[in-house]
Amino acid sequence: MTFMPDTRSLEMTDPALVSPDVEQEALQRSLTEHVPRFAVILHNDDVNSMEHVVDALLKSVPTLSEQDAVQVMMDAHLEGKATVTVCPRETAEFYRDRLQSFSIGASIEAV
Domain boundaries, the chain: 50-110
Question: What is the number of H-type helices and E-type strands within the chain?
Answer: 5, 3
pLDDT block averages, 10 residues each, the chain of length 111? 53 58 75 84 95 97 97 97 97 98 98 94
Q: Which helix (H) or strand (E) holds 97?
A: helix 89-101
> Cβ distance 40 to 108 under 8 Å?
yes
Task: Report pLDDT for 2.
Answer: 56
CA distance 74 to 99: 16
Q: For position 25, what pLDDT does the model report? A: 78
Q: Residue 30, exposed/middle/buried by CB under 10 A (0-12, 13-18, 19+)?
A: exposed
